[in-house]
Amino acid sequence: MSNQSTVTEFLLLGFSGTQDWKILHFMVFLGIYLAAVVGNFLIIVVIAVSNHLHTPMYFFLINLSILDLSTISVTLPKSMANFLLNTTAISYSGCAAQVFFFHVFGAADLALLTVMAYDRYIAVCKPLYYKTIMKGTTCICMAASAWLSCIPYSALHTGNIFQLSFCESNIIHQFFCEVPRLLKLSCSDSYLWEAGVLAFSFLLVVICFAFISVSYLQIFTVVLRIPLKAKQRKAFSTCIPHLIVVSLFVSTGSFAYLKPVSNSPSALDLAASLLYSVLPPVINPVIYTMRNNDIKAAMRKLTDHRLFYRNK
């Protein structure tokens, strides 16, 4: 690319400070990363070894956990390595790779959450047709579409950004290559095209969120008509966690991308980036574990078996 002759690397100054502070940041990020890895990996293992959880909803939940692990692995390991090596540099190609993969996994996350809302709608509103509609091949195709459809979108997004000229500065006041910060550094006149792509992205988010909201409005209408309170609670226990995850993902991401980008670093900018890039992969396993009785029962059963064989 022609602008590589101007900028060959970027400096990530989101958490700058003395070496002692960097070590502290490394320990905090390491704890967050391990929590995300352990939590999501535990969900994957529990669902994989529990035959009664081999249903479409939990198949999509495995995919969501894989996406969460992938998303947080795009940003935190590089930041932790920089803390240890006492550097802030990230190469031009490394920054482009961060932008590409972060948007692939982020867009796939939203697409999968939309698919999961459709799955819950069919399960609650059309239970007699659930097994016919949500067949194994259908679920695989829906999950594959959520993954693969986001690759050309992210490629277009990344290509538009890195066709811009970065000639004013190479300092990014974030802990990863965030798109609004990169656009702020650009001195190219073609940034309006990328702003159009961002507007189109926001429109897609609004459409997905509207589809999810309408689906859950119909779900809650049906659930509230169920005469038995026990069945109502069971239906809510499978729907509420997903709705919480969707609300967290959309609200934090929209806030981070729609708020004005300040010229100087601020704690609000860092907090907003942490909320949408780090918090969901960490808190999603907690939400699904605490609010889903089937997963809690499967975890207890798995733990009891391991303790039994250990004692034996």
Q: What is the pTM of this model?
A: 0.86
Q: For residue 52, what pLDDT is reported?
A: 84
Query: Closest Cα partner for 76 from 277, 310, 306?
Result: 277
Q: What is the pLDDT of residues 199-222, one digit of tens each?
A: 777 788 888 888 988 988 898 888
Q: What DSSP string runs through 19-57? A: HHHHHHHHHHHHHHHHHHHHHHHHHHHHHHH-GGG-SHH
The whole-number average pLDDT for the span 14-35 is 85
pLDDT exceeding 70 applies to what percent of the chain? 88
Domain of residue 116, CATH code: 1.20.1070.10
What is the spatial distance between Cα 42 and Cα 37, in angstroms, rounded to a whole number?
8
Tell me the one-letter amino acid at 3: N
Q: How many domains does the chain have?
A: 1
**pLDDT at residue number 261:** 67
Domain coverage including residue 78: 2-311
